[in-house]
Each structure stands twice: as C-alpha cells, then as structure tokens.
Amino acid sequence: MTRARQPGEKRLREAVIETAREMSRSGLSPGRTGNVSCRFEDGMLITPSGKRYDETKPADIVFVSGEGNIFDARQIPSTEWHFHLAAYHARPDRNAIVHTHSMHATVLACAHKSIPAFHYMVAAAGGKNIPCVPYATFGTAELAHHVAEGLRDRDACLMANHGQIAIGKTLQHALELAAEIEILAEQYYKVLTLGSAKLLDDREMSSLLKKFRTYGRNTES
C-alpha cells in the first residue's frame, strides 16, 4: 500500500521529532527509550522503532492509519504504536502523546503505586489521582487496552513496571504534562520516605479540577 503525503504533514513530522529530541534532552527518557506521536488524518504520525532521535529525519516518522495499517513496508513504527492508537480512539479530544521512562515515574510504576492527591498539581492530569495501569508486555494489545482505560478520563497515567504516558491537545501540552508528572512522581517518592502523605480531600480536588479547566496547558492554544 502507498499513500500520498498531505499538506502540512512535513511540518507535523518535524514537530514530532523536535518533541522527541526535547524529551530526550530534558532527561525524561534516556537514550532511545520513549516515543512520541500526534494525531493525523484518521490515524497518527509516530516515531520509528529503535532510531536515535538526533538522527531521525521527517521521512523516518511513520504514518499508522486508524485501523493500524502501515503503508510503507520499509518503515517500522515504535513498538508501542498499539497503545498510542488505542489512546487516540479512547480520547478523541486529545491530539498528541508523549511516553517516557522518566526516573521517578518509573520507580513508582515498578512499585505499582498510583500518585494520589498529595499535591494540588495532581489535578493537572485531569483527575483526583494519576493511576497506575496493570502490567502487560510492551507492544501488545493487552497493554494497549490497559492504557486506553487508564487515559479514558485522565491525561496521564503510570504503566506498571514500565514508565509513564501523557496526552495533550498539542505536542507541547503533552510534553509539558510528562515533565509535570515526573516532578510530581519525584515529590511523592520523597514524601513517602517521611511516612504516609497527607492527601487533599475529594471536595478540594473537585474544586481544583474546575480551576484546571482553564489552566495554561489545558487551554485551546
């Protein structure tokens, strides 16, 4: 199968690369780990499998259709493309995904710990906590299902024994949220070294969620 490139597609491919490079430069995902995608046409544009981000070119970014078809047999998308596609199906209101193996989010994920309402910024992910979804082997339909469920009413989740995933209306929003999740994970990890965290109650979190509907990264820019 072949497909014609669409107007604006090259710019989006470049944006996916730049987001992946910034993810790597910032330390959110070391080496070749992690992956980035954005919604495009009925599917998505996603980083390729196993390629260094500083060597990735626009032509390397892979288009995967909404049905999971890959039109260029020479291209291999990230092994995690299944959960990216599942997340887009679950969240038609979000257009970008950043998946990282950031240190503290991964530590909590390996302990199967969600991030509770210990800090008001937890509401930035769209809910009263940041869940940790069950473990499944990478690249499988089972993991895709867990991620889709975890993101159905959240903009971020941890993935057991794996890492974290953040979604946003734009690539920049998703990247910013991934960075915020790592900060929260580090803070929560350090609170746990002192004992149990003092959590905000549901009433306060409900109030915060209303405020976050107009907070910076959730606006329509």
CATH (domain of 211): 3.40.225.10
Look at strands 96-100 and 62-64 and give their pairing: unpaired
Confidence category of residue 220, pLDDT binned at 50, 70, 90: very low
In a domain, 4, yes or no: no
The stretch 45-65 carries a mean pLDDT of 94
In a domain, 161, yes or no: yes
CB 77 within 8 A of CB 46: yes
pLDDT tens sequence across 168-211:
999 999 999 999 999 999 999 999 999 999 999 999 999 999 99
In a domain, 143, yes or no: yes
Distance from C-alpha of 107 to C-alpha of 100, rounded to nearest angstrom: 12
Distant-in-sequence, close-in-space partners of 213: CB < 8 Å, separation ≥ 6: none
Tell me how many domains the chain contains. Answer: 1
The stretch 110-139 carries a mean pLDDT of 97
pLDDT tens sequence across 62-103:
999 999 999 887 889 999 999 999 999 999 999 999 999 999
In a domain, 2, yes or no: no
In a domain, 3, yes or no: no
Active-site annotation, residues: 80
In a domain, 135, yes or no: yes
Of residues 57, 60, 56, 54, the one with CA closest to residue 72: 60
In a domain, 195, yes or no: yes
In a domain, 49, yes or no: yes
Domain boundaries, position 177: 9-218
With 0-12 CB in 10 A as exposed, 13-18 as middle and 19+ as buried, what is 5?
exposed
Confidence category of residue 218, pLDDT binned at 50, 70, 90: very low
